Structure 1
Amino acid sequence: MKPRLLPVHLEDRPAESFTVQLAHLRRMTGELVDWMDPARIDAPVPDDTSAVVVPDLSGRAYRMVDAFRRIDRPILLITSEFGTVSMWDWEIRDHLRRRGIATIAPTSLQECEDVCRTLATKEALARSTMLAYQDDLGAGMQPDIFKRFYWWEDECVRDMQEAFGVAIERRSFRELAARAAAVPDARVDAEWARIADTVPIVGLRPSARADALRLYLALRDELDEAGEVIAAGINCLNESATSPTTPCLAWNLLFEERGLLWGCEADLTSMLTETLVHRSLQAPVMMTNLYPFLMGQAALKHEGIPAFPEVDEPENHILVAHCGYLGEVPQSCATEWTVRPPVLKIIDENAHAIDARLPEGPTTIVKVASDMRTLVVTPAVLSRYVQYENSDCLNGGVLRIRDGYRFVEKLPSHHAVLAPGALSRRIELMASVLGLTVEHL
């Protein structure tokens, strides 16, 4: 289903300028949205409307504030033939804003397309499910750490469902592991023959590779049966004793083949953040752990490394690493990508991890906050990669940010989503469509 856009005109009948501009919009966005029949701005908005679009403005808008105010959908001002707001409409937009009427005004065709995709993401969430595979939360490995996480709380689930309409379904990790163990060798062999030439795997013994593919096939079977699943996660570290393998390869294959977003450790808030950013902006995403240099020994001990790398202004730097490497980077998003044996001691030696890199350069750190109304966004630069032998950081990334002290004071979680590029403006626009606030760090 595509989002449905209602074009509205200010005059009793559409003017020629309205008709011409609407034709431009239909041509530019027809693959992303369904256009409804035009209506006068003060006509009732049909229930199935995703957003209201004003293709043509005039001085009448100053005298129609009440008509704008009663619209209970996002109001898009796309008044130029290039898919943007016209410069001559800034005064009208300011007039409306100062009277409490929020509007969304793209400044490029890309932003116009981002708005359309965000509307689609909003509607997809409302009819989709996120799966979380877990049994004994916080009772397995490293319980002193895992018992603290908000994404396992019933309040988190309720707030996500209320804010975004997405259904959260908790399933048994034990039952999934049993289903994976029952996958016959013939299916595993056929799957390996299919991907062997395109998925680099180094250092895994055949049994480890086979178990990774068994879990992938079991997850794929469950997704086939489950309907519209938009993201999934497994409590893979805390409950690592449940399975002889990890889901890293499975998440990569399911993302590449189906666009499924994932959550390491069944992190629902990371799953939601990835879904919003990737589906709305078509941006590469991955989740990882944050280790600000300001945290000193608390961070160094956890990663088993002697010191942070030498940098200017260490207070404004972050080491990012997860499960021994940068983290769960999808193959299509990476500049380098390989499946390797596991690094962490809390998982089975038969398991595996992904050793991959994102492109160096501008990077955006983003995470939905626990109120489900705020996106916390931090511009960063991925400056280089660092390697520490005999540690839990064999290949991590180094990020530079503007204000490390503000960052550690305000960040919502040790888990964060990284998206290559300078995406702050695009995320702001996405948030305005979703009715979210952006907090910049």
Structure 2
Amino acid sequence: MKARLVPVHFGSQPDEDFTRELQALERLLGAEAEFLQPVPIGTTLTASEGNAALFPQMLGSAYRHVADFKKIDIPILVITSEFATVSMWDWEINSYLRREGIRVSAPYNLDQAKKLCRALAVRADLLRARFIVYQDNPGEGFQPAIFKRFYWWEDECTRRMFDKFGITVEKRSFRQLGEAAKQIDDAKAEAVWQEWKGRLKIGPMPHKSLLSALKIYIKVKSEIEEAESGTKGPIRGVGINCLNESHFSDTTPCLAWNMLYEERKLIWGCEADTVSMLTKYLLNASLGVPVMMTNMYPFLMGDAALKHERIPYFPEVDREPENHILAAHCGYLGVVPQSFSTEWTLQKKVLAIVDDNATAIDARMPEGPMTLVKIESGFDRISVVEGELEQYAQFENSDCLNGAVLKVKDGPALLNRLASHHYILTTGHNAEEIELIAGVFELELNRM
């Protein structure tokens, strides 16, 4: 994917400085962007003309063109130096435009410019992209008192996602998927295992458990390929209501999600959480950061969190327990692709809610700087929390055999502003980059 940029010039024709700067940008950003025919300021620009308006040159006359800037109905990039950054002399113009209600993006290094271009391409891709989710009667299966509360299954959520981003959520039957996967011949799963066994570390488990996990991969992959053979647009993510409706399958999709991400960068949705899927896709495709979804268990939640994870106490920390969170999902940290992991093993299932034949991933992301992220339910803000992944904690005979201990700046404030029990854990401190691309997606940053 490349961003389609429409260069905009002042005056009736581009001048020499404009042309020179545009040529420099074409050299530096050619891998991330397609540069379209330049147009004069005052041209009405919409998504049909391009993904963003590019100003390779700013002039003082910009102050007298506010009405013309407001004719631009696509993101505006101000990249006015030969190094693919904003020029220092344009800070004042940019500040003036922002005060007039005109949103501009002005990268201050080449990497930012490239990421802005990738984010623009992702924004355009969402207009034709699809998520597939496998579910039948979400909330009606196991633990309905918990699962009936989740916003991502509401028609309103799906409609708002489409209205804001254009992404289409295509719903299919988990019951039918589970039954079809069981019918796949063992020999076919064995053949896939021969292709992958040198790349996968498998813990102690019956061979049948491994074959069942591989059959979900085979079936989901075939349905993606079939779906993409038509003209409806690419599949960018697949989710399954794998816990609440786990009675429809003799396994879990964890291994399939790992294999499909490693093969084709496909985003996955544990519990068919489409908001988490959207958040992960935006971050991973735009910024290239490692992403995964996990549950938040702040130490301040006390017994309510301990009971759910079946652990007697929270992990010991050196200081500030009120600013710590235990992150865990499905017995371990959660579904983490191998390419994001420092350690990775497919293990037997942990949770009682899933079939005894099921599996789960025991993986670790790097210790050190981390960022928690989630698009909020109104789809107008993105919640961002920077902190540290300090250590991993293990509790025998529990639902947290290997969880991560996260430290944030202000635990009490975080508890009052959390967007969900599901958050996207990313490696590194990424708030600055997320703020950079948030404007592309018309999201306000809710930094905690």
- TM-score class normalised by the smaller sequence: over 0.9
- Does residue 297 of structure 2 align to residue 291 of structure 1? yes
2:6 counterpart residue number = 6
1:434 alignment partner, SS class: coil
2:263 counterpart residue number = 257
RMSD: 1.1
Cα distance in 2, alignment partners of residues 402 and 183 from structure 1 = 50
1:82 counterpart residue number = 83
1:389 alignment partner, SS class: coil
2:311 counterpart residue number = 305
Aligned AA for 1:89?
D
Cα distance in 1, alignment partners of residues 215 and 316 from structure 2 = 43
Q: CA deviation at 1:32?
A: 1.6
1:52 counterpart residue number = 53
Cα distance in 2, alignment partners of residues 102 and 160 from structure 1 = 22
Aligned AA for 2:310?
G
Q: CA deviation at 1:314?
A: 1.0
1:346 alignment partner, SS class: coil
Cα distance in 2, alignment partners of residues 359 and 92 from structure 1 = 41
Aligned AA for 1:59?
G
Cα distance in 2, alignment partners of residues 44 and 287 from structure 1 = 40
Cα distance in 2, alignment partners of residues 202 and 235 from structure 1 = 25
How many correspondences in the alignment?
A: 441
User: Deviation per CA, 1:181-209, whole angstroms, max 9, x where unpaired?
Assistant: 12122211110000001111111211000
1:128 counterpart residue number = 129
Deviates more, 1:343-352 or 1:180-189: 180-189
Which of 387, 391, 404 aligns to 2:394? It is 387
User: Deviation per CA, 1:142-177, whole angstroms, max 9, x where unpaired?
Assistant: 111111111111111111111110111110001101
- Does residue 339 of structure 2 align to residue 339 of structure 1? no
Aligned AA for 1:99?
E
Cα distance in 2, alignment partners of residues 359 and 144 from structure 1 = 35
Cα distance in 2, alignment partners of residues 120 and 73 from structure 1 = 12
Cα distance in 2, alignment partners of residues 118 and 300 from structure 1 = 39
Cα distance in 1, alignment partners of residues 117 and 205 from structure 2 = 43
Give unmatched runs, 5+ long, in structure 1.
none
1:366 counterpart residue number = 373
Q: CA deviation at 1:3?
A: 2.6
User: Deviation per CA, 1:68-126, whole angstroms, max 9, x where unpaired?
Assistant: 12211111000112211011111111111122221100111111111111111111111
1:276 counterpart residue number = 282
2:161 alignment partner, SS class: helix
Cα distance in 1, alignment partners of residues 329 and 30 from structure 2 = 41
2:231 counterpart residue number = none
Aligned AA for 1:63?
R
2:411 counterpart residue number = 404
- Does residue 226 of structure 2 align to residue 225 of structure 1? yes
Give percent identity, aligned residues only.
51
Q: CA deviation at 1:12?
A: 2.5
Runs of 4+, deviation exceeding 3 Å? none
Q: CA deviation at 1:310?
A: 2.1
Answer yes or no: is the 8 Å Cα contact 2:85–2:107 preserved in 1.
yes
Answer yes or no: is the 8 Å Cα contact 2:43–2:72 preserved in 1.
no
2:282 alignment partner, SS class: helix
2:63 counterpart residue number = 62
Cα distance in 2, alignment partners of residues 29 and 320 from structure 1 = 38
Aligned AA for 1:301?
K
- Does residue 185 of structure 2 align to residue 184 of structure 1? yes
2:171 counterpart residue number = 170
Q: CA deviation at 1:61?
A: 1.4
User: Deviation per CA, 1:16-72, whole angstroms, max 9, x where unpaired?
Assistant: 111111111111111222110111112333633110000011212122222212211
Q: How does 1:139-178 map to 2 (within 5 A)?
A: 139-178=140-179
Aligned AA for 1:182?
Q
Aligned AA for 1:180?
A
Which of 221, 241, 246 aligns to 1:240? It is 246
Cα distance in 2, alignment partners of residues 37 and 260 from structure 1 = 33
Cα distance in 2, alignment partners of residues 316 and 10 from structure 1 = 52
Cα distance in 2, alignment partners of residues 364 and 392 from structure 1 = 24
User: Deviation per CA, 1:237-259, whole angstroms, max 9, x where unpaired?
Assistant: 11111111000000000011011
Q: CA deviation at 1:136?
A: 2.3
Cα distance in 1, alignment partners of residues 190 and 263 from structure 2 = 19
Cα distance in 2, alignment partners of residues 403 and 91 from structure 1 = 35
Cα distance in 1, alignment partners of residues 2 and 109 from structure 2 = 21
Cα distance in 2, alignment partners of residues 303 and 71 from structure 1 = 51
Which of 421, 425, 448 aligns to 1:418? It is 425
1:410 alignment partner, SS class: coil
1:16 counterpart residue number = 16
1:41 counterpart residue number = 41
Aligned AA for 2:355?
D
Answer yes or no: is the 8 Å Cα contact 2:243–2:271 preserved in 1.
yes
User: Deviation per CA, 1:289-310, whole angstroms, max 9, x where unpaired?
Assistant: 0000110000000001111122
Deviates more, 1:135-144 or 1:337-346: 135-144
